[in-house]
Structure 1
Amino acid sequence: MTESEREYEIARLKRTLEEISWQLAKANNKCEDSRVELQTNLADYWENYGGNALDEAQMIEALERQRGISAVIHKGQQTLQKAAVSPYFGRIDFIEEWSGETTPDEIYIGITTLTDHQTDDLLVYDWRAPVSGMYYDFERGKAWYKAPIGTVTGTITLKRQYKIINGQIKYMFDSDIKIDDEILQEILSKSADDKMHTIVTSIQREQNQIIRNEENKLLLVQGPAGSGKTSIALHRIAYLLYRDKASINSKNILIFSPNHIFSDYISNVLPEMGEENVLQTTFHDYTLPFKEILPVEIEDRTTQLEFILSNLDSREFNTRVASIYYKTSAHFEQVIENYLAYFETELINDYPDIQFNGQTIFASEEWKSYYLNELAFLPPARRLAKIREIINIRIRPITHEIRRKKEKEIDERAEEVNKKTIKAMARIAARQELGDLINHIEKLTRLNPFVLYRKLFDNPEIFQRFSSSTVVPKEWQYIRKQTISSIARGTLPYEDSFAFLYFQGRLEGFQPRNSIKHLVIDEAQDYTTLQYKILTRLFPKCSWTILGDPVQRVHPYIQGACFDSLNKIINLENPRIIKLTRSYRSTLEIQAFCNSLLPSSEPAVYINRSGTLPLLVKSATLKLAHEYINKAIAELKSEGCRSIAIICKTIRESVILRDALQNPDISLIISETAEFRRGIVIMPAFLAKGLEFDGVIVANVNANSYRREAERNILYTVCTRALHRLVLCYHDEISPFIQSISPALYNSIES
């Protein structure tokens, strides 16, 4: 880069910052004017309160409109404030192929579009603009992008990168690829901040193709730990909000996160890009409304995991494992589908004529006609409710006739002289005479999903009938008794919740959320097939982005849905599976160690960023292990680690360790509804998923903690949370998963 080019870039930045300053001053004035106007209108509203309803409605509408305008102005002001710190991070010079021009267009790329207010020149292009995509996808040379008018081809003659902080160029250089090793290493070697941040300046080509994908209604993204799946999803949301701003807003997008800690962890990424946060929930949140109407509680995932991960060698534990494995399997799903098919088509076959005093009110053939034909578009429970309405209409003349007859009898006996009393007594007498008939109709036309689901376990004949074409585990009798016992105690096991909620929804009907136009499922490997079937019915009118990694399944016994089968379940046109292979999170040494924990899996390709070998620490006693953890925390802090996680296997272990360390700087996170904490935290393994830390200390990697093959992936997942430093502590026999790793992949000491 020549000196004249440097001077040009400095002048160009100065012009850009001056424009931002001018627009920011104008935005500040608009914000103040809008605030004053809103306050004035509110004061006027309260002073004149008491007018007619129409005036009041108009005033409320005007206030809401003013609030909306104020929000837009404030959002623009915040975006300009961010741009003032770093207005752009990249530049490409591009010559359109058929333009006839020889001088390229200078395209500066930042987090938002900026136009010169005097000349209308585009000073900065939003990173989501079609032309900006070339910055991520192409080197110098032939390039193209998709514009509203079609594909535009041409040549990139220059590609330049910048580091601008507080309006000052820290460095800039020309590059043939988007992020070279020097810049990427600088980004990756930084300390993990309190929360996840935007990656707009370091998006890689494979990531950009996912972010800007417009062809596929169902996008399945599979990638190893640290491949940026969650960041990609959030940037894809920002792209969709930019591209479809006329038809979609933040209230039309929903993210299903693994827990509230994770939701809080990612909560500032979209605001950093100038977008409002979208809706977020968890599958557990979805089950909450049912707790109010069911006669039992639905066990939460935390309680189930705490029991399973405690490694209790007992008949109860083994039965529970078998129950979880079976109830999330395709075999039990088929039992539920067979059971539902009965209610869909066979339930009505044995329904009798409805008769009263020898008169047929509703014939058995009518049951079939209405249930299987006219009302077949409704779920079974609603079909029966409609039929009940029809029957009640037919009974009405009979009821009236009985009332008239009873009134006449009472009047003739001269027992009452008050007409109102006579009518009341006649109604009571008619209800008594028709009581058995009404009760019979009620019994035939009401379905109780919970009672019916419970019958699968209470009634061996029912289970045998609907499971005859499936594989039933040898432990079924123990599973059946354990389930009945749990329900009798007032708790529906968590592993039953998916099957029951699906069963209930199919019987009574799901309430679709048609306002959701795009759905994001993160950590998708932990969802079962039935959960996806529920979600397809709740969100029938949206596109999907699903992200996950099968080897990071933290629940060792749930059978998660296979990515290859999701396109059949969700059934959207043109589905696409994209597999990421590169991991950007951990150092070479940590990644090599983690890959060795999963010898049968395809190893991730990692970035060439060296660091310290993982450290394996053996202590003679548990007390000495706790003392070393306190020492390790101090050492990691001295090395510059700002975020440190001590990860235990269970909640119980986490609480015991927190009490033993007696360190006031440590926060304990043991609830899925907790907020993400900064600094030093202790947490169980299943809550660490999706998070990353500068340093990770894995407590108790003993053989009795991580010995079952189903627990191998949990150990892998917690180790991959580390960016720069990984320490593993044990005080007894080491986990066989680590024992099988080459000693060259870690250092070992005794404390």
Structure 2
Amino acid sequence: MPAHQLVPDIDPAPSDPGRPGPSDPDLPAAEVLAAEREHLAVSRAALRAMREHAQSLSADAAGDWVSQQILQALLDQRVAALADHSGTPLFFGRLDRSADDELPGTVYVGRRHVHDDHSHPLVIDWRAPVSRAFYQASPSDPMDVSLRRRFGYHGGDLTAFEDEHLDRGQALRHSKILTEEIERPRSGPMRDIVATIQPDQDEIVRSDLARTVCVQGAPGTGKTAVGLHRAAYLLFTHRERLARSGVMIVGPNRAFLSYISSVLPALGEIKVDQTTVAGILGEHSAPEDPAVSTIKGDVKMVPVLERALWMHIVKPTEGLLFTKGVNRYRVPDHEVREIVASLRGTTRYAPGRAALAQRLAHMVLVRMEQRGESPDDRVQDAVARSKPVRQLVDRVWPKLTPQQVLHRLFSDAGFLAAAAKNDLTAEEQAALLWAKPAKSFRSAKWSAADCALMDELGDMIERTPVFGHLVVDEAQDLSAMQLRALGRRCRTGSATVLGDIAQGTTPWSARSWTEVLGHLGFADGAVTELTLGFRVPREVLDYAARLLPSVAPDLAAPRSLRPGAGSLSIRPAPDLPASLAEAAERALSAEGSIGVIVPDASVTAVSAMLSHLDHRVLTPDSVEEHRLLVVPATLAKGLEYDHVIVVEPADIVSAEPRGLARLYVVLTRAVTSLTVLHSKPLPPELTG
């Protein structure tokens, strides 16, 4: 790759007098480049030394075995975070600063902090406050930066640089380095975008931990990458706090998690949980009528579940008789009823049950004291665990699991009617009732929608553990009950909510982010809209945007910085196998990944059409990387490929109620070229 640069013309930074002046206007560009390559080599050597030092540390100094294991785990994380990815730039920018502070006058901005053996910083982490100027400085507000330099790389080799003299009002209108990095063909998982973060993206990334941020992002605007980089920024800025409470990334499926899996490790963040909604709520997936799932996903199920749980408590009809030796102690039935009434609804179900046992035991101790005895807390605990107390508690306040409550609710019409009251219509109750009830909750076949209901009940029974921060991608596709389940897991923290209303494909997809944030429990969250795309070519994006008036009429049409002339091809295909083989072979002759996106029902047939080519079929659990993939339309969301071939758009639309939204998703997965093959007429929304 040829080097391209604007020759620098300011003096060397005073804090670095020994360097061969890369800011000297008399130096040829080649010498400047050589000096920067030398700094890269020195920085890589320093990073290796830092890693070797971390590897040399021993956990044996810890006092006991448990402490040794904890310390060793921390050391292993430190070693992993200091890994040098040879194909990835260690630093990608440089700032020459005029600020009068303790920081160096020349700062190299990179993925992680690197220092030499004298603790002199060679590379500053992109998340450090001083690095913000790399993304935000401008001629109108230089932020004490005289020179901003971007570096171009090929693999791990530094090949080019571009300068902006902000103190002189000079800024690049078009960065070739930035454009080449954005347009670089993809292979394998998602890459980080730390070198190409734009000012509006940077504002989101650096939002404070206490602030919940919702990003409405059109295709190609980098919303997923922004969310992941915000997680990395928060872990850097609030390391100690989030090390205790944790950060959770929630994606739509395992294939998506595999796709994003390398982003945070490339930024030095190893210990971040990544899962799906099913991974949190349960992997049950019994088939169910979407209309029934829609009822179960509605927030009106909350009072129904609450009544169903607390209806299991029965009115006490007898008191408590506790015998100790020759002494007998009685708690009359009316006092038992008063205790139950005082506890019911004022606490979660399981703590209330435990409190009932303790309250009954306390009443027994009161009677012991009235007889001159001096019982202590150990006696009270023993009474609370005694058989008479346990039997009474089991009768009045039975021990329950969410599955037991839900099984009874969907099996017993009278119980459902009593729990539903006016929150569910007679028709909705009839839809929820099982036609053939399972004999017990253990043999019941639960659906994905049931999992969210069980999670709601689980929180009513016992408090759900929480994370310090939650990142939710494709949030527009989650039901109200699923959103509540996620919100419970960060009720004392904050969230980053990502998605696109136009890409909502479930029957219960949200129509507004206000609705989503309300269900999550962050009604005061800030909504930011990203409409400027960097990845999807303009020609492709404009074609897909023809669907927006039908799927999301209130959203602004997305824009792309990439013209993409010639990136779109719409082809009638009377002989589909031949046309598909020809399109796939042409894509294989170019550089980059290829996704053949097809209606789910056609996956096997299309795979057979490509049997002469080395390919794989993407599944929900796929972690395998392959250049040519056959992708079911329902798994395409969140993924992107250099070359996309879409087969039979009409069948994608007709396969589900929100088929047009699914097609919008499918058409916007391409970052270099999109080929649409159809033997059936195109949807009228695309031909108008």
Give the TM bin, normalised by the shorter chain: 0.7 to 0.9
2:492 aligned partner, one-letter code: K
Q: Deviations over 1:391-440 (max 9, x none)?
A: 689999xxxxxxxxxxxxxxxxxxxxxxxxxxxxxxxxxx9xx9xx9878
**2:106 matched to which residue of 1?**
106
Determine if contact 1:192/1:693 at 8 Å carries over to the other structure: yes
Correspondence for 1:472 among 401, 409, 425: 425
Determine if contact 2:501/2:511 at 8 Å carries over to the other structure: no
Superposed, 1:393-472 pairs within 5 Å as 442-446=394-398, 448=400, 449-470=402-423, 472=425
**2:544 matched to which residue of 1?**
594
Determine if contact 1:107/1:124 at 8 Å carries over to the other structure: yes
Correspondence for 1:219 among 202, 213, 221: 213
Correspondence for 1:23 among 33, 39, 46: 46
| TM-score, reference length from structure 2 | 0.80
Shift of 1:565: 3.4
Correspondence for 2:98 among 95, 99, 107: 95
Q: Deviations over 1:99-128 (max 9, x none)?
A: 499x9933332223344546x654432211
Determine if contact 2:209/2:234 at 8 Å carries over to the other structure: no
**1:714 matched to which residue of 2?**
662
Pair 1:157 & 2:146 matched: yes
Cα distance in 1 between the residues matched to 2:181 and 2:567: 20
Q: Deviations over 1:587-616 (max 9, x none)?
A: 111100111112224211221332325333
Distance 1:167 1:538, change over 3 A: closer
Pair 1:299 & 2:311 matched: no
**1:413 matched to which residue of 2?**
none
Determine if contact 2:534/2:562 at 8 Å carries over to the other structure: no
Q: Deviations over 1:292-320 (max 9, x none)?
A: xxxxxx325xx56xxxxxxxxxxxxxxx2
**2:131 matched to which residue of 1?**
132
**1:269 matched to which residue of 2?**
263
Richer in helix (by share): 1
**2:612 matched to which residue of 1?**
663
| TM-score, reference length from structure 1 | 0.74
Distance 1:681 1:480, change over 3 A: same
Determine if contact 1:251/1:279 at 8 Å carries over to the other structure: no
1:19 aligned partner, one-letter code: V
1:170 aligned partner, one-letter code: A
Distance 1:532 1:704, change over 3 A: closer
Instruction: Indicate the percent of aligned positions where both proteins have the same amino acid.
Output: 21
Superposed, 1:67-86 pairs within 5 Å as 68-69=74-75, 72-73=78-79, 75-76=81-82, 78-79=83-84, 82=86, 86=89
Distance 1:371 1:538, change over 3 A: farther
Q: Deviations over 1:176-205 (max 9, x none)?
A: 558835344323332112111111111001
Correspondence for 1:366 among 325, 335, 341: 335
Correspondence for 1:387 among 356, 359, 362: 356
Correspondence for 1:604 among 538, 550, 558: 558
2:78 aligned partner, one-letter code: V
SS at match of 2:433: helix
Shift of 1:381: 4.2
Shift of 1:524: 1.1
Shift of 1:255: 0.9
Shift of 1:93: 3.2
Q: Which runs of 5+ in 2 are unaligned?
A: 1-6, 10-24, 323-327, 366-386
Correspondence for 1:492 among 440, 446, 453: 446
Distance 1:454 1:246, change over 3 A: closer
Cα distance in 1 between the residues matched to 2:216 and 2:472: 12
Shift of 1:211: 0.8
Determine if contact 1:91/1:106 at 8 Å carries over to the other structure: yes
SS at match of 2:248: strand
SS at match of 1:690: coil
1:697 aligned partner, one-letter code: I
Q: Deviations over 1:621-679 (max 9, x none)?
A: xxx31332122110111233x311122222x4212322343235111122x22214221
SS at match of 1:214: coil
Cα distance in 2 between the residues matched to 1:271 and 1:696: 28
**1:258 matched to which residue of 2?**
252
**1:415 matched to which residue of 2?**
none
**2:281 matched to which residue of 1?**
287
Correspondence for 2:508 among 558, 583, 592: 558
2:92 aligned partner, one-letter code: F
Determine if contact 1:355/1:362 at 8 Å carries over to the other structure: yes
2:573 aligned partner, one-letter code: S
**1:634 matched to which residue of 2?**
585
Superposed, 1:499-514 pairs within 5 Å as 499-506=453-460, 508-513=461-466
**2:294 matched to which residue of 1?**
325
Determine if contact 1:178/1:204 at 8 Å carries over to the other structure: no
Shift of 1:342: 6.9
2:318 aligned partner, one-letter code: D
Determine if contact 1:211/1:239 at 8 Å carries over to the other structure: yes
Superposed, 1:180-195 pairs within 5 Å as 180=174, 182-195=176-189
Distance 1:365 1:255, change over 3 A: farther
Shift of 1:680: 0.9
Q: Deviations over 1:40-98 (max 9, x none)?
A: x8xxxxxxxxxxxxx9984675576456446535643x24x659x744322333333xx
Q: Deviations over 1:235-269 (max 9, x none)?
A: 11221222223443498221112111111111111
Aligned length: 630
**1:336 matched to which residue of 2?**
302
1:89 aligned partner, one-letter code: F
Determine if contact 1:199/1:231 at 8 Å carries over to the other structure: yes
Cα distance in 2 between the residues matched to 1:235 and 1:4: 39
Q: Deviations over 1:277-296 (max 9, x none)?
A: 511111212234xx8xxxxx
SS at match of 1:544: strand
Shift of 1:512: 1.2
Q: Deviations over 1:163-187 (max 9, x none)?
A: 1444543243437558835344323
Q: Which runs of 5+ in 1 are unaligned?
A: 42-54, 145-153, 292-297, 305-319, 397-430, 743-751
**2:18 matched to which residue of 1?**
none
Shift of 1:138: 2.3
Cα distance in 2 between the residues matched to 1:704 and 1:180: 38
**1:378 matched to which residue of 2?**
347
Pair 1:353 & 2:318 matched: yes
Determine if contact 1:643/1:680 at 8 Å carries over to the other structure: yes
**1:174 matched to which residue of 2?**
164
Determine if contact 1:135/1:159 at 8 Å carries over to the other structure: yes
Cα distance in 1 between the residues matched to 2:499 and 2:212: 14
Cα distance in 2 between the residues matched to 1:342 and 1:454: 11
Cα distance in 2 between the residues matched to 1:484 and 1:86: 60
Cα distance in 2 between the residues matched to 1:465 and 1:58: 57
Cα distance in 2 between the residues matched to 1:649 and 1:342: 41
Provide the alpha-carbon RMSD of the alignment.
4.0
Shift of 1:617: 3.0
1:527 aligned partner, one-letter code: L
Distance 1:707 1:602, change over 3 A: farther
Distance 1:492 1:73, change over 3 A: closer
Cα distance in 1 between the residues matched to 2:439 and 2:561: 49
Distance 1:492 1:245, change over 3 A: closer
**1:308 matched to which residue of 2?**
none
Shift of 1:139: 0.9
**2:633 matched to which residue of 1?**
685
Determine if contact 1:385/1:445 at 8 Å carries over to the other structure: no
Distance 1:695 1:368, change over 3 A: farther
SS at match of 1:142: coil
